Amino acid sequence: MFAARNGVPYVYATKLIAGETSPVTPAGAIVVALADVLVGIVLGQLVRQGAPVIAGGFFTIKNQETGIISYGAPEISLMGTGMANVLRFLRIPSFGFAGATDAKVSDAQMGLEAAFSILHAGMSGTSLIYGCGQLEYGQTGSLELLVMGDEVMGMTRRMMKGVEVNEERMARGVIDAVQPGGHYLGEDHTLKYFRTETWWPTVMNRARIADWEANGSKSLGQRVKEKTQSIINTHQSEKLSAEVLSKIQTIVNGADAR
């Protein structure tokens, strides 16, 4: 109500555990989640019609053998995707969870669980996604997982971009000019599009094996760790402009005066 009254965009999200705080079935969990967030949305709109809101939440399961609340289960992505689709039908921006894992260290499980969830959240069209970098079912924050998650997000964004179809991209004239047996390396069309139509990795390895060996035969985990340390040691945040700083200071001064 405060956010709606003051025109502050807010995320109205629910957190459900299938089989405990919602029905165990994904469909039943989505019904409960939708009822939950619609209450908040309606209340906000009654206070101020058109108040900006994003709805959704975090859906998970409880592992009955260990008692942990999983952050890497496929059901998280399944229920989140379902909720995002329902909210899109209602024309409500969606909020979802991705990029976390139940793994305890930087290993293959970490990569698999984080990558699958990021891909699902992105491809389902979730408007705002959070959760990347959480290790050990949310008990630990991992800078390495953040860096690897950034790589996966780049791949996911490329897939979300899809195949743009127009006359120039179909390249029928270029195909006619090259003819069977020819190659496209020297074509202006290749020079124009090869950077923008292709995703370029920062930690994934595409080197020839001899070059990979010459550079220390480093695993993905080692490369991620090195990039993480490089960011920590060398990154400089972009400075805000004087105009932005002035506006922020005006807001702070106004708050102090009250």
pLDDT the model gives residue 258: 83
DSSP string, 108-126: HHHHHHHHHHHHHHHHTT-
User: Collapsing DSSP states into helix, strand and coil, what is residue 129?
Assistant: strand
Going by C-beta distance under 8 Å and a sequence separation of 6 or more, which residues neighbour residue 132? 98, 99, 100, 114, 118, 145, 146, 149, 153
Say whether pLDDT at 231 is over 90. yes
Going by C-beta distance under 8 Å and a sequence separation of 6 or more, which residues neighbour residue 96? 56, 57, 58, 80, 83, 84, 121, 124, 126, 128, 129, 130
Query: pLDDT over 70 for what percent of the chain?
Result: 100
How many helices and strands, by DSSP H and E, does the chain display?
A: 11, 6
**Interatomic CA distance for residues 73 and 122, integer angstroms:** 17
Cβ contact 51:44 at 8 Å:
yes
Question: What's the whole-number mean pLDDT along residues 43-57?
Answer: 94
pLDDT the model gives residue 106: 87
Q: What is the dihedral of CA 45, 48, 54, 59, to 10 degrees?
A: -50
Specify whether the backbone of 56 is left (phi greater than 0), alpha (psi in -120 to 50) or beta.
left
Going by C-beta distance under 8 Å and a sequence separation of 6 or more, which residues neighbour residue 109? 72, 101, 102, 103
Q: Where are the domains of the chain?
A: 1-162+196-200, 204-258
Q: What is the pLDDT of residues 104-152, one digit of tens each?
A: 998 999 999 999 999 999 999 999 999 999 999 999 999 999 999 999 9
For 44, 205, 207, the CA distances from 214, given in Å and listed in that order, are: 60, 13, 10
Query: pLDDT over 90 for what percent of the chain?
Result: 91
- Average pLDDT of the chain, as a whole number: 94
Cβ contact 103:109 at 8 Å:
yes
pLDDT the model gives residue 18: 93
Q: What is the pLDDT of residues 53-86, one digit of tens each?
A: 999 999 999 988 888 999 999 999 999 999 999 9
